[in-house]
Structure 1
Amino acid sequence: MNEERCLAAAEGYLQLEMPVEAVLEIERLPVNVRQGVHSSELELAAQMMQKHWNRGAELASLLCALKPSKRAYFLHAAYCLHETGDTLAAKSFLMSGPKSLMKDALFHYNMACYCAVLGDVEEASRHLIPALELDPALRKIALSDEDLKGITF
C-alpha cells in the first residue's frame, strides 16, 4: 500500500467535498499512520464536514495532545463539543488551550457564543468586542448567529 497515495487521495476527496471517500482512504492506512498528525487532521476535516461531532471532538482532542501549541486544534475540539450539546465542556476545553489563543478572533468569537448559550451575557459581550476588533468580518456572521441572540454589539 502506498501511504502517500492514500493521504493525497483523502486530501483530494476533501477538496471535492467528498468526506466519506476521504475517510475510506484514511481507513486503508496502517494504524500507526492513521493515528499520525496528518491523517488525523484529514479525518477531522472529514468528520466535521459530515457533522460527526463526537468523532470530531475525539480526533481534535488527540491532536491537542500531540501538538498542544497548535491553536486550531483547540478551536476545533471546542466547536465539536459545543455541537454535541456540551457547551460547558467546549468552553472549558477552549480555555485550556495555549495562551496564544487570546490573540485569535475565533477564540473570542467562540467564547462569546459559548458564554451566551450558557446564559452569561456579560461575559459573552466581553469576548465579542475583541473578536470583532480582531476580525471585523465576523460582525456579519454574528448578526445571524443563533448562539448570539440577545447579545448587543
Structure 2
Amino acid sequence: MKAIKATLLVAGLFFIMGGTAIAKEKDVNKALIGRFAEEVFVKKDLSEVERYVRADYIQHNPLVKQGSAGFKEFFAAWFAAVPDWNYSLKKIVAEGDEVWVYGTYSGTLEKEWLGIPGNGQKYSFDAVDIFRVQDGKLAEHWDVMDIYGLFRQLGVIK
C-alpha cells in the first residue's frame, strides 16, 4: 500500500510540475509576442527584428520572403507606403509553442505597395497571426486576414 501511495505521490508531482512548465511556456511565449508587437509593429522599429525573429524564419504568407531578412523587407516597404501605419493588438492566445494574435492593421496608403498605387485611401482590417516559437524567437508564421476588405477599401476590387 505504501508503494502505491508513493507512486501516486510521485506521479502527481510530475503532473503538477509538468503543468506548471507548460503554463510558464505559454506565459513566456505570450510575453515574447507582446514585446515583439510593441517594438516592431507599434513602434515600427525594424532594427529589433533580429532580436525576436530567427534568421531561418519560415513564412507561409506568399507575399513575404523567407527569413528575418524577408520579414524586414516586406514591412519596410509597408511602413514606407503607409506613413501613419498602425497596429492594434487585441488578443493573444498561446498553446504549446504556438501563439495566436488577433489585431487590427490600419493606415493611409500614400505610396505604391504590393503593386497598388498610393491613393491616399484609408484602410483598416483585422488579422489573426499565428507564430511558432523556438528557442525564444519567432520561428514560423501563418496568417488569416481580411484581404477582401483591405482590397475593397483600397479600390483594387469593388
- Structure-1-length-normalised TM-score: 0.31
> Could you say which structure has the higher strand fraction?
2
Q: Say which structure, 1 or 2, has more relative contact order (CA 8 Å, 6+ apart).
A: 2
> Could you say which structure has the higher helix fraction?
1
